Amino acid sequence: MSKQELEVIGQDSACCPGLATAPLDEDRAADLARFFKALGDPVRLRLMSMIASRGEGGEGGERGEVCVCELTPAFDLSQPTISHHLKLLRQAGLIDCERRGTWVYYWVLPGVLDRLAAFLATPRPAEVRA
C-alpha cells in the first residue's frame, strides 16, 4: 500500500462518519483496525505520543521530527526492539521516517491523528432546555 493511499488530509466528518454516526463498512473497519492494532501496545502508544508531541516543528510548516536516538533511552528495551515497534507503526500508516547518516528521524503522517480523532468523536447532544 502506498503512502498516498494512507494519507488523509482535510477530510471532514461529512465524508467520514464517526463511530456514533453510522455503522462501519467492512473496508473502513479493516482500515481503522490497522491503526488501533498498532496503537494497542503500550510501547508503541508511547512512541507515537513522543513522535506526535513534536507537533508541526519550526517555521515554514516544517514537520515535527524526532530522532531514534532520542526515543530509545526512554525505554528499558533494546534498540532492535524499539526499531521493531517503530516499523509496526510505519506499516500501519501512522508514521514515516528518513535515514540521515547513522540516524533515522520519525514524524507522524499528516492527517492521521485528525482522522482517528474524527472517528472517535461523538456528537454532542443538544442542550437540555429548562
Q: What is the pLDDT of residue 55?
A: 66
Sorting pLDDT into bands at 50, 70 and 90, what band is 17? low
> Which ranges constitute the DSSP H helices of the chain?
3-6, 26-39, 42-52, 68-71, 79-91, 112-120
Q: The C-alpha cell of 8 is what?
A: 488523509
pTM, two decimals, is: 0.73
Spatial distance between the Cα atoms of 33 and 40, rounded to a whole number of angstroms: 10
Helix, strand, or coil (residue 11): coil
pLDDT digits (tens, 9 = 90+) for 91-127: 999 999 999 999 999 999 988 888 888 888 877 666 5
pLDDT digits (tens, 9 = 90+) for 51-66: 999 865 444 445 689 9
Highest mean pLDDT among 4-8, 28-32, 93-97: 93-97
